[in-house]
Structure 1
């Protein structure tokens, strides 16, 4: 494998994502829109496959979890009840020379990372502890003191001419109504969770759900992120995959531990190196939580959160009961069977929340490899995406060796049969070697080559992406061979 440093690797992944149709800058012909991205033809396929894996793991594999799709627009009181109107803010600081705005905690985190890279682990640990203490106490002046003490400069101007740290609300607002004068201010949802909470009773009663049970959802959310950072890592429009699991009060920590383990297993089932993952317990808990852990992945720019598991207590349902005037209690008649009195209670909630875009980036980074295939004086290389076959945008490429002698017709017959079950492509342009390389670069697990022998005995050459091994098989065996590798069944058994 060609040696690259982390920065180069990340840049190469970003370049690769654009070149092969995974991710584009939004409105690129107009010079783009900061922190907003479009998913191209292969990116959309990969993204949908990640969503399918999550949905099947959550909803299909759990009898007590159902899925919904709530609206992006919600009543303004929802966000008052949830605390987002008054408390959904980030500590921001401006550089007076560049007029650029930054999150104070991210400036400090970047400094911690630099200390660690330079081997100054004691300084890194001390700054981490001081920052955590300031954040927990919501001590904004102390955050500025830390930035000044550690001589953090603006990445643009290079100066240390900072304003005070202040809070900045991250919600997008818009007008809801026919005319602005008579319109009501509403928000684009900053998270999908509240759509689950306000539908708690609707789902519970219509589905006759019994505690413990979960409600899952995949959907867009919007945050007015000030800083465009690290490609699709932090965006203004993003997608979340969230599940809220409703449990009896007092049993929340048992389920918190269960979902921590279950969610990490879901990640590693994809074949990603387990060493790349770690748990990170929150030093400062959100206002609704009594426990919180992040699953972090080692990106080229350090360990960052990919998924959060939170014990949200009964905060959300209690708040919505208070602000709406509607009872959000659950009548647990199973308690009597256990020798306990019947009881009404507001359930506690365990949340699993994963950023789909971050999972997409993680998948691309984990799969990307630049391989040196040189032998002796012969130089050769390839770029390959080692995507799990279930996630690969294209499952197989159908490649006639030449454009004549009936090979394209035979190839298209094979394609017409396979495309009923799988997303496959047909390519006849360029040499067979170049076509192999292109399919390696987009992560296609199998290349099926149709040659003159195929016309004689109905066999084809199938090439395996990772090993580059080629084998001759009967056309009638193609479907089973592909199915064994790309079957959701096999992946779900491991997750």
Structure 2
């Protein structure tokens, strides 16, 4: 969104902001979940996620739900008191609204344009769970796309399609993804329309990203609270207005979990279980592993030379510990698409190496002089295969 587009700029805003920011946004009053406490074991649960009216732990009777604010509170300064309460941000979005005027003036952007950032957010979840899917500290990737009122619905659809294509473009199977439009009774107070991109996890469908049409709610709320003019002057058309905003908001942690779940595979090879992460090459931790056949003084210098040749073009790892078979398995388990093996023929006769393919385990011999191009061709082929699944 930032590097590949001219209409989106990136910022890195503060985690702690003035508490009035969260008053204006509605978080202080409205950012709540319903909490119910078991009268028997006294464990607390998020009542809207319970399948029954009884405690899921002991079967006891639950109290009536009460609203529980999800923001973490702390204090600025050496003395705690009501006058110096601040909050850990529950989302990264609000900083992009309060910095709207600064970005317009400093970046010389013109509507339509977006402000994006990635960073930590914090929510005092009542019931964290499902591994890293729901946690109290998590990484968000959000963008606020400012547009002229009347064009918002078109841009809302555009960013839904853009985000869906982003997930499938990095290898998530389209059969495991769906776009779910929010019903009227579940829309946030600021939203004219919202849609979730969901992934089919082992426990069921879970949200990866929400794309919302926030209208002009946020900018107007901050204008009212701060008294600062956050309207936009459209010079070519000689008119001034408060922009509408479309927001793609992604959970980076849960998206990473989805890529892991979708890439994970097990198969039997020669009566042995092989674990493979079939990552798209763009998100694999390493694209190429350089492996000398054994730890041998005749092989190490050449293997290091090959590593130096390819590391400037690809993300690589060098490994010479344990048997070559064990090292292949290690690379399969972390999703490395290609392994390059340097053997005694390399140094004694042909100045060539063997490329091993992660998914097929096929091997091909190529001269070192053509290695980088051969690796690129194979990575392109793996990417195409992942996308066709």
Q: TM-score, normalised by structure 2?
A: 0.94
Indicate which of 262, 268, 275 corresponds to 1:383: 275
Q: Which residue of 2 aligns with 1:286?
A: 188
Q: Which residue of 2 aligns with 1:466?
A: 359
Indicate which of 206, 214, 232 corresponds to 2:106: 206
Shift of 1:60: 2.1
Give per-residue Cα distances to partners, 1:66-94, cap 9 Å, x unaligned.
Answer: 11111111111000000000000001112
1:219-230 alignment, distance < 5 Å: 219-230=119-130
Is the counterpart of residue 424 in structure 1 residue 325 in structure 2?
no
Shift of 1:421: 3.4
Q: Structure 2: 5+ residue runs without aligned partners?
A: none
Distance 1:182 1:313, change over 3 A: closer
Indicate which of 246, 255, 277 corresponds to 1:359: 255
Give per-residue Cα distances to partners, 1:420-463, cap 9 Å, x unaligned.
Answer: 33332222222211111111001111111110110122100010
Larger mean CA deviation between 442-451 and 418-427 belongs to 418-427
Distance 1:82 1:485, change over 3 A: farther
Shift of 1:477: 2.1
Give per-residue Cα distances to partners, 1:457-476, cap 9 Å, x unaligned.
Answer: 21000101011111001112
1:311-330 alignment, distance < 5 Å: 311-330=213-232
Q: Structure 1: 5+ residue runs without aligned partners?
A: 1-57, 109-146, 336-341
Shift of 1:154: 2.6
Alignment check: 8 A CA contact 1:59 1:216 kept: yes
State the alpha-carbon separation in 1 of the partners of residues 139 and 47 from structure 2: 25
Q: The residue matched to 2:143 in structure 1 has which SS? A: strand
Indicate which of 200, 222, 225 corresponds to 1:298: 200
Is the counterpart of residue 232 in structure 1 residue 132 in structure 2?
yes
Q: Which residue of 1 aligns with 2:6?
A: 63
Shift of 1:178: 3.6
1:12-411 alignment, distance < 5 Å: 58-108=1-51, 147-148=52-53, 153-157=54-58, 159-180=59-80, 184-283=84-183, 284-335=186-237, 342-374=238-270, 379-411=271-303
State the alpha-carbon separation in 2 of the partners of residues 251 and 184 from structure 1: 41
Report which of the two has the higher share of strand: 2
Shift of 1:419: 2.5
Q: Which residue of 2 aligns with 1:113?
A: none
Q: The residue matched to 1:232 in structure 2 has which SS? A: coil
Q: The residue matched to 1:186 in structure 2 has which SS? A: strand
Give per-residue Cα distances to partners, 1:255-277, cap 9 Å, x unaligned.
Answer: 11111111101111122210111
Distance 1:482 1:324, change over 3 A: farther
Backbone CA RMSD of aligned residues: 1.7
Q: Which residue of 2 aligns with 1:54?
A: none
Shift of 1:405: 4.9
Distance 1:201 1:94, change over 3 A: same
Q: The residue matched to 1:468 in structure 2 has which SS? A: coil
State the alpha-carbon separation in 2 of the partners of residues 166 and 323 from structure 1: 28
Alignment check: 8 A CA contact 2:75 2:81 kept: no
Q: The residue matched to 2:94 in structure 1 has which SS? A: helix
State the alpha-carbon separation in 2 of the partners of residues 104 and 395 from structure 1: 45
Q: The residue matched to 2:146 in structure 1 has which SS? A: strand
Q: The residue matched to 1:473 in structure 2 has which SS? A: strand
State the alpha-carbon separation in 1 of the partners of residues 372 and 86 from structure 2: 51
Q: Which residue of 1 aligns with 2:333?
A: 441
Distance 1:92 1:181, change over 3 A: closer
Q: The residue matched to 2:56 in structure 1 has which SS? A: coil
Q: The residue matched to 1:255 in structure 2 has which SS? A: helix
